[in-house]
Structure 1
């Protein structure tokens, strides 16, 4: 299946690929042989080394702060410097980054950029359902949990960071350790004629109808900084403007200190 997807993308002249989860050297090699640029998202140092050895061009260091599927268990700003120390490749930071301050911190550590998910999920252009966007705006970091309870159509143990809902409340303290083979296949929603199962990884989209509250609402820990749904261009401008202002302040402070010395 993966090789077929890659071949389809190459036939459509896709030039940049972003891989996540397990490092598959054969898949990386196929993209590189075809002349593609390959970014590989990793959650551990081991995965970072494997992705670099396989031929990745850029590493995305994803911390456990991220919304959606989370591979590692290390906070973003602990994983980032560790990955930077272990590789000569450009590194992008990912996980919980929703402000210009977080962007500035990542760049100051040596990252070449950041990858944002939650910040742009709550934008007007996002294809997420409005209920998902509103929950992100209304919630805080304490409202997210890491669980492998939404695992149907993914391998056992695949954890996701989501907003608490009736399903995660039903898990109690047993947020981890769910076996997909033991989960009933219960249809709770649809996208047109496509059924969506309770405890699947499918999040509610604009086209989804049904028991939306029971579906996973992905969100990273930075969502407390998102207080409104805005155009994506404005969110990007706000992030960059704040980061640039902080950089200028830091630069002036450094220059002042050097002058005093």
Structure 2
């Protein structure tokens, strides 16, 4: 039978200027599951930041902190499935949004070093440390920061920067507002794309990488430390690097694009 541990504390906050007493409290939910390496953590939440760490044990350890005057309107559910572990964060219907939210949630999760991630938050940042596994992560508002990833990466944010310390696999990264910085550690075998509607893009590539480069900006400049066999302009570079290969597309509507050697 599934057991969820919940710890609740109460505090009183007084708004002296308005002489109004507000009751705020925090809930903490914890859970641990025995799992197998290579399974998947699925997480979908209506609000909250996500912090994913790894360890050398075959367990998924979860801690969720929920606070704010409306914390009781947010529920957390855990489930052990045949594919791994699922986590759901659901808020009751109400007229509040990310900027004026009266609910703040933080998910702290530790997974095995070899584990896949499928993450979606409607408002909050996503941080993932070094991991061997495939990552699909989306947030409607917040930055995304990844460590050294051995696997394929698909990350999207509606507002915030994206940083990937290094990727040993394929990648598709998109933000509607923010910079992108990715270091590729090996030859890509499929087309890859980094795009932002507002911000700079920096791609760091192995010296011997063989790709077709398609880099452009609507406002700023494009530069490459590699010799490109093709067409080079101030705001776009298109052509082959080291004989060509899969296409690397770099797009920004406002900002510079830099292609650097590792």
Q: Same fold (TM over 0.5)?
A: no
| TM superposition score normalised by structure 1 | 0.22
| TM superposition score normalised by structure 2 | 0.22
Task: Return the index of the structure with the highest Cα Rg.
Answer: 2
Which is strand-richer, 1 or 2? 2
